A and B are shown apart, each in its own frame.
Chain A
Amino acid sequence: EADIYQTPRYLVIGTGKKITLECSQTMGHDKMYWYQQDPGMELHLIHYSYGVNSTEKGDLSSESTVSRIRTEHFPLTLESARPSHTSQYLCASSGTGQFSYEQYFGPGTRLTVT
């Protein structure tokens, strides 16, 4: 069973606040991903990591930053939240070899910036 966790599930915050969205997985996966999903739209990759101390920006430009200090942990930070950051953020991970084909998703964090 895939175990990937995201906290908080819902967050309402005021403009200008700093926030960190947490993502953890217990599967020992090397690869982790952050997607942004707006209602009725496809998922857009905003960050990914292929291992500890490895992070790359995704296809969609984002003002957020990420870090990967431990294999199981891939937090996303917004230094100064704005209403344009209102969205759902999904974290995913995938393994290696034959297990690299599937991405396992967390339940998501729905962020509202007022």
Chain B
Amino acid sequence: AQSVTQLDSQVPVFEEAPVELRCNYSSSVSVYLFWYVQYPNQGLQLLLKYLSGSTLVKGINGFEAEFNKSQTSFHLRKPSVHISDTAEYFCAVRTNAGGTSYGKLTFGQGTILTVHP
């Protein structure tokens, strides 16, 4: 079975400051990793994904994440945040094994990022 832990439930930052949202996962097989963003009263939007290759992946809105296999982490970063980045962020993992778990995502508990002026 796989699980995802987002280490911070809330992260307050000031505008133009850097931010890191932490995500750790556990899985007995290789995985694909995702970050989604959810704005108030909306569904989830994909920010970025790691499938294979370079461990540093870049996504939309200036976000990037680094896959660290030895630490089983996939932390999300942005060097300078904007007020509009205020939202809830979810880390998710998908096993690339077959069987009944094929294609299913396991989500973390979410991190609420609040950007203050």
The residues of A with any CB-CB pair to B shorter than 8 Å are 4, 6, 9, 31, 33, 40-45, 48, 50, 56, 58-59, 90, 92, 94, 100-108, 110
Q: Are B32 and A101 in contact (CB under 8 A)?
A: yes
Q: With CB as the reference atom, state the residue of chain A lying closest to B44.
A: A105
- Give complex CA distance A50, B100 in Å: 11
Count of inter-chain pairs, beta carbons less than 8 A: 58
Contacts A102-B46, A105-B43 aside, 4 further interface pairs with beta carbons under 8 A come to A48-B104, A100-B103, A101-B49, A107-B41
Q: Interface code B86-117, partner A: CB below 8 Å = 1, 0 otherwise?
A: 00001000100000100111111110000000
- Give complex CA distance A31, B105 in Å: 12
Which residues of A sit under 8 angstroms from B41, Cβ to Cβ?
9, 107-108, 110
Assuming the contacts A90-B44, A101-B51, A108-B42, asked whether A42 and B90 have C-beta atoms less than 8 A apart, the reply is yes
- Give complex CA distance A59, B104 in Å: 10
Which residues of B sit under 8 angstroms from A107, Cβ to Cβ?
41-43
Q: With CB as the reference atom, state the residue of chain B lying closest to A90.
A: B43
Q: Are B49 and A102 in contact (CB under 8 A)?
A: yes
Main secondary structure on B side of the interface with A: strand
Q: Is B80 an interface residue (CB 8 A)?
A: no
Q: Are A108 and B46 in contact (CB under 8 A)?
A: no
Q: Is B9 an interface residue (CB 8 A)?
A: yes
Query: In the complex, what's the smallest C-beta–C-beta distance from A80 to chain B, in angstroms?
Result: 27
Range class of the B interface residue count: 20 to 34
Which residues of B sit under 8 angstroms from A41, Cβ to Cβ?
109-110
Which residues of A sit under 8 angstroms from B90, Cβ to Cβ?
42-43
The residues of B with any CB-CB pair to A shorter than 8 Å are 4, 9, 32, 34, 36, 41-46, 49, 51, 90, 94, 100, 103-110
- Give complex CA distance A4, B42 in Å: 12
Which residues of A sit under 8 angstroms from B46, Cβ to Cβ?
102-104
Assuming the contacts A102-B46, A106-B43, A107-B43, asked whether A31 and B103 have C-beta atoms less than 8 A apart, the reply is yes
> Of B32, B34, B43, which one neighbours A108 at CB under 8 angstroms?
B43
Query: In the complex, what's the smallest C-beta–C-beta distance from A41 to chain B, in angstroms?
Result: 6
Query: In the complex, what's the smallest C-beta–C-beta distance from A48 to chain B, in angstroms?
Result: 7
